[in-house]
Structure 1
Amino acid sequence: MKTDTIAAIATAMSPSGIGIIRISGEDAIEITDKIYRSKNNKKKISECKSHTIHYGYIYDGDEKIDEVMVVVMRAPATYTREDTIEIDCHGGVFVMKRILETVIKNGARPAEPGEYTKRAFLNGRIDLSQAESVIDVINSKNEFALKSSLSQLNGSVLKNVKSIREVLLHEIAFIESALDDPEHISLDGYPQKLESIVNKECDEIQALLNSSDNGRILKEGINTVIVGKPNAGKSSLLNILVGEDRAIVTDIAGTTRDVLEEQINLNGITLNLVDTAGIRDTEDIVEKIGVEKAMKHATGADLIIYVIDASVQLDDNDFDIINIIKDKNSIILLNKSDLSTIVDESEVRKYIDKTILSISAKNNDGIKELEDVIKNMFFDGTVSFNDEVYITNVRHKTLLNDSLESLKLVVNSIYDDMPEDFYSIDLMNAYESLGLIIGESVEDDLMTEIFSKFCMGK
Structure 2
Amino acid sequence: MAYRSDGVLKREGTDTIAAIATPAGAGGIGVVKISGAEAIRMALPLLRPVRDASCLKSHRLYYGHVTDPGTGKTIDEVLFTIMRAPHTYTREDVVEIQAHGSRCGLYTILELVLKQGARLAKPGEFTMRAFLNGRIDLSQAEAVIEVVSAQTKEGLELATRQLKGDLSKTIEAARDSLKGVLVEVEAAIDFPEDVEEIIQPENFAEKVEQGVIAPLESLLANYDEGHIYRDGISAIIVGRPNVGKSSLMNQLLQKERSIVTTIPGTTRDFIEETVNIKGIPLRLIDTAGLHDAGDTLEEMGMKFTRKRLNEAEIALFMIDSSMPVTDEDLKIYGLLRGRKSILIINKADLPPYQPVHQIEDRFPGLPCVRISALYNKGIDKLKDTVFKAITDGKGPADLPAVVPNVRHKVAIERALSASRAASEGFKESRPSELIAIDIREALDALGEITGSTTTEDILEQIFSRFCIGK
TM bucket by the smaller chain? over 0.9
**Residues 235, 249 of structure 1: 8 Å contact kept:** yes
Identity %: 39
Three-state SS of the structure 1 residue aligned to 2:44 is helix
Deviation at 1:31?
A: 1.0
Match of 1:345 in 2: 357
Residue 248 (structure 1) shift: 2.2
Cα root mean square deviation, aligned? 2.0
Task: Give the aligned partner of residue 65 of structure 2.
Answer: 57
Residues in 2 aligned to 1:67 and 1:51: alpha-carbon distance in whole angstroms: 19
Question: Which segment drifts farther, 60-69 or 157-166?
Answer: 60-69
Residues 51-86 of structure 1 show CA distances to partners (whole Å, capped at 9, x for unaligned) of 112222222122222222120100000000000011
What letter is aligned with 1:76? P
Q: CA deviation at 1:16?
A: 1.6
User: CA shift at 1:237, angstroms?
Assistant: 0.8
Q: Which runs of 5+ in 2 are unaligned?
A: 1-11
| Per-residue deviation, 1:198 | 2.8
**TM-score between both structures, scaled by the size of structure 2:** 0.91
**Stretch deviating more after TM superposition (402-411 or 304-313):** 402-411
Pairing 1:38-437 to 2, within 5 Å after superposition = 38=49, 43-61=51-69, 62-186=72-196, 190-200=200-210, 201-282=212-293, 284-343=295-354, 344-381=356-393, 383-385=395-397, 388-414=400-426, 417-437=429-449
Distance 1:204 1:13 in 2: 42
Q: How does 1:13-24 map to 2 (within 5 A)?
A: 13-24=24-35
1:295 and 1:69 mapped to 2: Cα distance?
A: 56
Separation of aligned partners in 1, 2:55 and 2:375: 68
Q: What's the secondary structure of 2:193's corresponding residue? A: coil
Q: Following the alignment from structure 1 to structure 2, what is the Cα–Cα distance between the partners of residues 23 and 148?
A: 30
C-alpha distance in structure 1 between counterparts of 2:299 and 2:213, whole Å: 48
- Cα displacement string for residues 216-271 of structure 1 (whole angstroms, at most 9, x for unaligned residues): 11011121111111221111111111122222222222222232211112333211
Q: What secondary structure does 2:281 align onto?
A: strand
Point out the more displaced range, 192-201 or 398-407.
192-201
C-alpha separation between the residues in 1 aligned to 2:198 and 2:107?
70
CA distance in 1, matches of 2:151, 2:454: 29
Letter of the structure 1 residue corresponding to residue 27 of structure 2? S
CA–CA distance in 2 between the matches of 1:319 and 1:152?
45
SS in 2 for 1:91: coil
Q: How many angstroms apart in 2 are the aligned matches of 1:321 and 1:386?
A: 35
CA distance in 2, matches of 1:198, 1:325: 43
What CA deviation, in whole Å up to 9, does each residue of 1:407-434 have, x standing for no partner? 2333444565532222111111111111
My pick for the range that moved more, 270-279 or 128-137, is 270-279
Which string of whole-angstrom CA distances, capped at 9 and with x for unpartnered residues, describes residues 356-396 of structure 1? 11111111111121122223333454524487112221111
Instruction: Say if 2:456 is the partner of 1:444.
Output: yes
- Whole-angstrom CA distance in 2 between matches of 1:156 and 1:357: 37
Determine the C-alpha separation between the residues in 2 that align with 1:405 and 1:383: 29
Q: In the comparison of the two structures, how many residue pairs are matched?
A: 455
Amino acid at match of 1:305: L
Structure 1: unaligned runs, 5 residues or longer: none
Sort the Cα spacing of 1:8 and 1:46 in 2 relative to 1 into closer, same or farther, 3 A: farther
CA contact (8 A) 1:7 1:110 kept: yes
